[in-house]
């Protein structure tokens, strides 16, 4: 019982990170219709940037995070600008373009920060909480809290602000959006840079939990993606549910199937997505034929 609960807690804390990654995927998908394969590598750059400002420039952790988010949002603007000619034309091609950007970002990270990677010390010093034998790290609680705040903030932004509503209008019908006076280019640029900022948030938070190196994106990306799909691509609450589900699935698979956990995780994921391709909160149909 204790083991089950502890595994659950472990899964939830990593799941919160997957949720943050999935949220960025989903935001960009919801507002641009684009699947951004470079997202996790942007998170990796964010993790490096945050750790550099935190460890090398000695900024407080929160400030380092903000700076890192600004940096990656700028990178997001660049990527969006380069791929803009393809927007609303060929999303499969854009998807491949973002894979190309992912390769570029990994190479850039190695050129800037080297190959070794770095450990980031936790900004929260207090000891883990002990609840009836189940240990919960305080830092994990912080991550979950930030993830929850991000969800609320995003939901508010999309539902209650003009900008957010405009973004979703663009994704639904960019011609009509243009007709009612929305600047599609600027809206997409903003959406993409917010997505990149969310990636940096995830990357920066995951730094002290794990270890920052150029392959961090690979570790976060595919599972974050799977999380977005499980929850329903484009849905913000879906990203959270999917992220936590993938985290817990991963954690239990590791407990029960040891070395075979990756295989089991992806087989279960494939089966789940076959049964319900639109995910838990999915609104769009995937294939009608």
Partner 1 sequence: MTRSSAPRPRTTTRAAVCTAAALAAALTACSAPGESADDTKASSGPIKVAVVNAQSGQLSSLGDWEYKGAKLAVDEWNKKGGIDGRKIQLKLFDDQGDPTTGTNLARRLVSEKYVAMIGTAESAVTIAMGPVLQQAKIPNITSGQSDGLVALKSPYLFLNGPTSTTYDSTLAQHLVKDKGYKKIAMITNNGSFGKGEHDAFLKAVKGLGVNPSTDQVVTTDQKEFSAALTKIRSTKPEVIFIGSEEVEAGLIVKQARDLGITAPFAGAAPQGTPVFIDTAGKAAAEGTIVSSPYLSNDVSDASKKFAAAYEAAYGKEAELHGAKAYDGANILLTALKTSNGAVGEELADAIRDTRYKGLLGDFQYDGTGVGITKTTIGVIRDGKLVPQQ
Partner 2 sequence: MKLSVKGPSATRAGGLAAIAVAAWLLPYGLGSYSIHVVNIAIIYALLAIGMGLAMGISGQINLAQVAFFGVGAYTLAILTTDSGYGFWAAAVIAVLATVATGLFVGIPALRMQSHYLGIVTLGLALGFINWITNASVTGGADGISGIPLPTLPGIDLSSEYLYYYLELVVCAFGLGFGLFVVRTSLGRRLRAMRDDSLAAGAMGAEIPLLRMTAFLLASLYGGLAGVLYAGLIRYVAPETFSIGNMFILLAMVIIGGRRSLVGCVVGAVGLTLIREWLSDFSTYAQLGYGVVVVLMVVFAPTGLAGIPSRVREFAHRRRRSHTEDRARLRPFQPYEAVETPDAADEPLLEIRSVTKDFRGLRALDDVSLTVRPGEIRGIVGPNGSGKTTLFNVISGFYRATSGQVRFGRRATTTARPYALSLLGVARTFQNLRLFGQLTVRENILVALDRTRTYTIWQYAVWQPGVVRRERQLRRQAQELLERFGLTDFAEAAPGSLPYGIQRRIEIARAMASRPRLLLLDEPAAGLNGEEVQQLARIVRSIRDSGTTVVLIEHNMGLVMSLCERVTVLSSGGVIAEGTPAEVVAAPEVIEAYLGDSAMADVPLPEPAPRQAPAGPTQASASAEASASAEAPASKEATR
Q: In sequence order, which residues have a C-beta less than 8 Å from that of residue 254 and are 6 or more positions away?
A: 261
Residue 49 lies near partner 1 (rule: CB under 8 A): no
Closest CA to 43 of 76, 13, 14: 76
Closest to partner 1 by CB, 30 or 223: 223
Residue whose CB is less far from partner 1, 125 or 162: 125
Closer to partner 2 by CB, 100 or 128: give it: 100
Residues 83-122, mask of contacts with partner 1 (x by CB under 8 A): ---------------------------x---xxxxxx-x-
DSSP string, 231-285: H-TT-HHHHHHHHHHHHHHHHHHHHHHGGGHHHHHHHHHHHHHHH-TTTTT--S-
Binding residues for partner 1 restricted to 150-189, rule: CB under 8 A: none
Q: Which one among 255, 266, 268, 277 touches partner 1, defined by CB under 8 A?
A: 255
Binding partner of 226, given partner 2, partner 1, none, CB within 5-8 angstroms per partner class: partner 2
Location of structure tokens 């990636």: 199
Compute the distance between CA of residue 98 and CA of residue 62 in angstroms, rounded to an integer: 29
Complex with partner 2: residue 53 or 101, whichever CB lies closer: 101
Please tell me whether residue 250 binds partner 1 under the rule CB under 8 A.
yes
Q: Which chain residues interact with partner 2 by CB under 8 A? A: 35, 82-83, 85-86, 88-97, 99-108, 110-111, 175, 218, 222, 225-226, 229, 233, 259-267, 269-270, 273-274, 277, 286-289
Integer Cα distance of 65 and 45 in angstroms: 12
Q: How far is residue 152's CA from residue 109's CA, in Å, rounded to a whole number?
A: 32
The partner in contact with residue 240, picked from partner 2, partner 1, none with C-beta cut-offs of 5 to 8 angstroms by kind, is none
Token pair, residue 83, equals: 């791929």
Q: Please report whether residue 245 would count as binding partner 1 according to CB under 8 A.
A: no
Q: Which of 41, 71, 24 is nearest to 240 (CA)?
A: 24
Strand partners, 212: 118
Residues that bind partner 1 (CB under 8 A): 2-3, 6-7, 9-11, 13-14, 110, 114-119, 121, 128, 130, 135, 137, 209-211, 213, 215, 218-219, 247, 250-252, 254-256, 258-259, 261-262
């Amino acid at each position: 019982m204790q083991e089950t609960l502890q595994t659950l807690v472990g899964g939830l804390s990593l799941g919160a990170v997957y949720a943050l990654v999935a949220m960025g995927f989903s935001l960009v998908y919801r507002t641009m219709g684009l699947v951004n394969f470079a997202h996790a590598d942007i998170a990796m750059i964010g993790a490096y940037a945050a750790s550099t400002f935190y460890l090398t420039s000695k900024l407080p952790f929160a400030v380092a995070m903000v700076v890192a988010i600004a940096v990656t949002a700028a990178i997001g603007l660049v990527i969006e600008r380069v791929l803009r000619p393809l927007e609303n034309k060929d999303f499969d091609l854009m998807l491949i373009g973002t894979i190309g950007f992912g390769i570029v970002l990994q190479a850039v990270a190695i050129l800037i920060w080297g190959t070794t990677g770095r450990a980031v010390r936790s900004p929260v010093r207090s000891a883990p909480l002990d609840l009836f034998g189940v240990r919960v790290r305080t830092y994990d609680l912080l991550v979950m809290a930030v993830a929850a705040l991000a969800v609320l903030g995003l939901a508010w932004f999309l539902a209650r602000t003009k900008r957010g509503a405009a973004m979703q209008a663009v994704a639904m019908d960019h011609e009509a959006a243009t007709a009612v006076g929305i600047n599609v280019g600027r809206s997409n640029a903003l959406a993409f840079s917010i997505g990149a900022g969310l990636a940096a948030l995830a990357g920066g938070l995951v730094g002290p939990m794990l270890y920052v190196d150029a392959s961090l994106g690979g570790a976060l990306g595919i599972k974050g993606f799977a999380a977005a799909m499980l929850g329903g691509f484009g849905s913000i609450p879906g990203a959270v549910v999917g992220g936590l589900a993938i985290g817990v699935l991963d954690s239990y698979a590791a407990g029960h199937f040891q070395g075979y956990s990756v295989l089991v995780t992806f087989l279960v994921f494939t089966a789940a997505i076959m049964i319900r391709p639109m995910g838990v909160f999915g609104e769009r149909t995937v294939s009608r034929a």
